[in-house]
A and B are shown apart, each in its own frame.
Chain A
């Protein structure tokens, strides 16, 4: 396994010795034996996460926007310089391949991030476009600084006035004396930034953020805490909540953007793009699945435990084991793919793929639950997601009051 350029620092801080593989890199699960403090930090101070293993592609050239609009579902041609969008990517049959962000760094320069490698996919579809595609996964490193104090922390070490940086914007600036790209994006659903720089500046960047962050109560954060935070934020994870079509042996495992709850990322009314025809015809037929938020009925759960003579006992971290979801008749209508107790919302929550029309808000369903090795069903309800969505996520204190941008450009 490889280590990221931040490894000299993260390995010293990781006292739990809990690591796992992420895209060929060693990544910290939790810095201390329990990840709870890291989850609370993201919602009260800030957490610092090494996101270097994200796959990164720099796309340059006069047709870069056209090309990216062709392979991603969002109409990337329309985004201005300094904007970032979240998007899905599909194969020709409209099945989800991946989701990620696309940032416009210059008029002819974009950078995408993804969870899987796509260089050959991009090259295959670049025919006829004047673009250069460079994989920068291993040459650019990244840190996610997420939490309510993230802005204050960066303010002290950044040239750019962070008060003026709006949600889903990117800016090239100096951070702690290091040339870096600061993106107001993240995977926690909180106020937060992702900072990318060339590998050789990694330690200087890390030290600068740490020095600025410690007085604010910032803590280093691992993937376990991120998993809880991203479920609270209602974000899907490739490989867990949906599976990239690239690795599915059968169609039954694949998802369309609508199946994965990402239909909103599809700008369908434009020139054809990869998968657009299939998505359009699926929409005519009506999508089969949707990805929804579920809340587990706590009182029922408490009663279930009480009947066994024990108090409720929940796993200390997010669960990625998918469990069946049933309707009132006991027919399986879907599966919960990510489940967690939310320390922030104090609710027991899940992301689930369910057959329509069971996706409507308020639908009462049942989820399999196994206390003490005994299969039972617990009532759940389809609820709104994100489960946690603080105003600070989008707020821009230093911005002149402007008209609220269209929501599809903001997510």
Chain B
């Protein structure tokens, strides 16, 4: 029987779309199936309140691989990334700190807290930049399998080892510390100012159920120094039109290359016969067959729900059940009647043209984690804020604003049980607004609409199991050859003809597109379709 499609991709998130675009570009007949009406998965933009566009979930972009932008000609299809200009941290006592691309200005800002730290800051940046050069190739290659004796795997391991040696003793040791220490301990080796350490340490905990003082959190700091926009190392960018604009550009590229994309087409089952994927069953009961099925969905959802435990080896099922999802964050999106000034630095200046961290001290962050450890959302959470409308006025009507607030901690496993989240949703939203009002006193009266997304909502609406934004924690034991399960980290699965291309595969979450691209590359290299 000749099949209409070479590949069916489950989920129209950015990785599924990237994978589809690469396969279509290589001449394969590809179908992407998206459950929601909107493409992009967690990388989507939606007009939730009339006139206001929210980047509903993911709100910044850093690691979208430059080769994907080039290969898929994304700017031609509407991708326009604006650099985020600064990182701003207000403190409850009225002081504030803005770090920007201007080294002299940043130096002065930090010097107001500690002249010594002001000098150290660029040196830290240089060291991290050097480590990032070592780490970055890792996200551009499939994860090598250290248990294998195959020449390809050995060569790749050897190359990594060589790159590590080239770091030299000092940097090699630093890399070792980075992979073992907590974000706060690691930063405290460099800096003396808690007001600086606190906001810097936050990047180590985003999306994890860990605290800034938990070992292993330092590693993710490096991701901040791996970003690149326009060929230069820069931290973060914002896509014009919101994060969904990235997915739409990829989707247009995929369609341009011949991929077919269907929305409102949720997959309820991946059909498996004799250990091989045959196609999918849609929620409406219709069936579609293809040579291979590629899942962009989160691994636990893919294997335990769409495939079914019965089709899988016991050991693999155990691993997937153990795979740490433990969503820890929520999102609040606001439509605002006017700009809510920060008491410590009023006005629409450079400080609000970047991301804003509510992380006044390391103790504050650890207390926020304490709440979460025992099954509550943080009464005073860590927040990372962006004003998309300041960077792209088209996101809101003239003079009005959109505020995107990433909130941690909001543990999926609240003590009442995850299904009780809907009852706590508004209380969680209130905690966010109340905390934020301490920094923006006029915030409450300017709110026109508020969207609160709890981890429960992220799971129900976006298929992010347990609300984990990265399809699984980005902790070291779940990265590289361990993602999502040992022995199955190279996009293949125990089911023949079923592949993975989502953030639950190497190199992980974030709007990188790398899992989608690397999966497509392996699928094509191995002649799977």
Contact = CB atoms under 8 A, between A and B. Distances in A.
A120 B116 contact: yes
A161 B316 CA distance: 90
Contacts of A21: 104
Given A246-B126, A249-B126, A24 B116 contact: no
Contacts, number: 41
Interface residues of chain B: helix, strand, loop or mixed (majority): helix
A120 B126 CA distance: 15
A25 B102 CA distance: 11
A25 B107 CA distance: 12
A24 B108 contact: yes
Interface string B98-127: 000011110110000001111110110010
Nearest to B116: A120
Interface string A105-127: 00000000000011111010000
Interface in B147-179: none
A118 B123 CA distance: 11
A120 B115 CA distance: 8
B397 interface: no
Contacts of B108: 2, 24, 138
Nearest to B120: A120
Contacts of A403: none
B129 interface: yes
Contact of B104 (A24, A118, A120, A247): A24
Nearest to B190: A120
A138 B104 CA distance: 12
B253 to A, nearest CB: 34
A119 B118 contact: yes
B122 to A, nearest CB: 8
A314 interface: no
A117 B130 contact: no
Instruction: With a 10 A CB-CB cut-off, give which of A1, A119, A123, A247 has the most chain B CB atoms.
Output: A119
A144 B319 CA distance: 71
Contacts of B123: 120, 246
B119 A121 contact: yes
A247 B126 contact: yes
A234 B16 CA distance: 61
A37 to B, nearest CB: 30
A119 B119 contact: yes
Contact of B129 (A120, A123, A249): A249
A151 B119 CA distance: 37
- Counting chain A residues whose Cβ lies within 8 A of the other chain, the interface size class is 10 to 19
A79 interface: no
Interface of A is mostly: mixed
B107 A24 contact: yes
Of the candidates B107, B115, B117, B130, the one having the most CB atoms from chain A within 10 angstroms of its own CB is: B115
Interface string A12-33: 0000000001011100000000
Nearest to A53: B104
Contact of A120 (B105, B119, B133): B119
Given A23-B104, A24-B105, A118 B119 contact: yes
Given A246-B123, A249-B126, A117 B116 contact: no
A389 interface: no
Given A2-B108, A23-B104, A119 B126 contact: no
Contacts of B104: 1-2, 21, 23-25
A310 B126 CA distance: 47
Interface in A11-68: 21, 23-25
Given A23-B104, A24-B108, A249 B130 contact: yes
A368 interface: no
B256 to A, nearest CB: 38
Contacts of B117: 120
A119 B107 contact: no
B278 to A, nearest CB: 52
Contacts of A24: 102-105, 107-108
Contacts of B122: 246-247
Given A2-B108, A24-B104, A24-B107, A117 B118 contact: yes
Nearest to B105: A24
Contacts of A120: 116-120, 123
Given A1-B104, A23-B104, A246-B123, A123 B116 contact: yes
B500 to A, nearest CB: 36
Nearest to A120: B119
A306 to B, nearest CB: 41
Interface string B17-28: 000000000000
Interface string B66-110: 000000000000000000000000000000000000111101100
A135 interface: yes
A120 B123 CA distance: 10
Contacts of A247: 122, 126
Nearest to A134: B115
Given A1-B104, A21-B104, A24-B108, A119 B115 contact: yes
A196 B214 CA distance: 50
Nearest to B123: A246
Of listed B103, B104, B117, B133, residue having the most chain A CB within 10 A: B104
Contacts of B126: 246-247, 249
Contacts of A246: 122-123, 126
Interface of B: 102-105, 107-108, 115-120, 122-123, 126, 129-130, 133
Given A246-B122, A247-B122, A249-B129, 11 more contacts: A2-B104, A2-B108, A24-B107, A117-B119, A119-B116, A119-B119, A120-B119, A120-B120, A135-B115, A246-B123, A249-B130
10 contacts: A23-B104, A24-B102, A24-B108, A25-B104, A117-B118, A117-B119, A120-B116, A247-B122, A249-B126, A249-B133
The 8 closest A-B pairs by CB, nearest first: A24-B104, A120-B119, A120-B116, A120-B120, A119-B119, A117-B119, A119-B115, A123-B116
